[in-house]
Structure 1
Amino acid sequence: MKTGRERRLALLGGGFSTDDDGVLDDWVLGLVGAARPKVCFVPTASGDAPGYVDRFLAAFASRPVEAGVLPLFRRTLDDEALRTFLLGQDVVYVGGGNTANLLAVWRAHGVDRLLREAYDRGVLLCGISAGANCWAEGSHTDSFGPLTHLADGLGLLPGSVCPHYDGEPGRRPSYRAAVASGALPPGWAVEDGVGALFTEGRLTEAVTRVPEARLYRVEPDGEGGAAEHAVPCRPPSGGRVSP
């Protein structure tokens, strides 16, 4: 039972999906403080792609964790077992893919409500790409083909999220335009290589596995545009930073 712990979530610009060094995944595990944490991978955004699941299991096989996977396209757990499983985790790690599809499937199965309950009980929520987008009020996404805004999400993190801020052409200007116009609320732009921890909705830690990567706060500039403010990031082995 994790009741009483602070509510935390982490946005990842990398991890086993994209990196070979495992730095950001080790950082996530270090946030938990358990000798053998339970880590559940949720691959909904990829349609429960078998190759993605295999990569997760291979990446975490050598770590001192109890790794599990929550498939929803071939679901085997009833409602009570599903709740027990999710609330018993130390980390829920959501993979990338299609943000809009992920949210729709979660709601069909009631996973959105269970993740809110897990968050309130102190389970660390995290993810990359769609797995970062889903926690906010809105996000920048290619769920519908071209890059656009999605004014939808679980709302556990105030504001909006843009993943791959430096890694995909068009992300930066498109997200800034969405924030400037009010299509998306102010939010966080995550470059590849960055990890950002939020505690009770506030940024409490920002790390990077590559020196040049940054986390940005993006807000309207009052003149019809958007301003971005870089947040100092440290190597995952160092100390905390202030927002």
Structure 2
Amino acid sequence: MSTTAASAGTLSTFLVRLADFAEPSPHDDVLDVACGPSLMAHALEGRVGRITVAGIGPEPSGQGFPADPSALPFADGSFSLVTARFALHRLTDPAAALREMLRVCHPSGRIVLADLARTNLSSDHRDALERVRDPGFRSIPRIDGLLAMVEGAGARITGMDLLSVERPAAPWLEAAPSPAIAERLREVLLAEVDGGPKTGAKPRVIGGELWFTQTWAHLVARPAGA
């Protein structure tokens, strides 16, 4: 599905869509594995029984407590719903993190993942662009690779929602390490608009504002024996 955000603020529409995709229940005991602030906890608030946030990665989440994604401090089968939004692509070993999420997920529960993805025919140029903006960035997995990684961790995929999201570049550029880097990235994207080298970001100018495109994958997976 292709979607254009009307403004940076309306991106919360996609968070609501992800929360709905998770099919939350008042009986759910949720673990959100978050890299940075846990927006999922905010989206699920009032729709589930309890939410625990495990902050991972180099940046504190500001919520919950820090955790090692390859050794989560919870007993087997502790949660009916385990979520991770835009976290896997920042991890050194996302497969190990997935195995841990499955371990702490109840056998009748489910895992809901949201992350950047690349179409199976796209180039690696998109990764290079992201790494310049975010030194902690690892890579954007191809869709088939993402599915294989989830299944290889011991899960069966029961649902997928694939979105092509066109969004303003300004908020994305503001997260660059410095204004100089942000400006350089902007120049690269504008050069592509003018016919320059392809970045994989499909930039264009709308109403005088620079926009670019990301592909997001939402997946629901269940323990293989469920």
Asked if Structure 1 and Structure 2 have the same fold, meaning a TM-score greater than 0.5 normalized by the shorter chain, the answer is: no
What band does the TM-score fall into relative to the shorter chain? Answer: 0.3 to 0.5
State TM-score, norm by structure 1.
0.41
Give the TM-score normalised by structure 2.
0.43
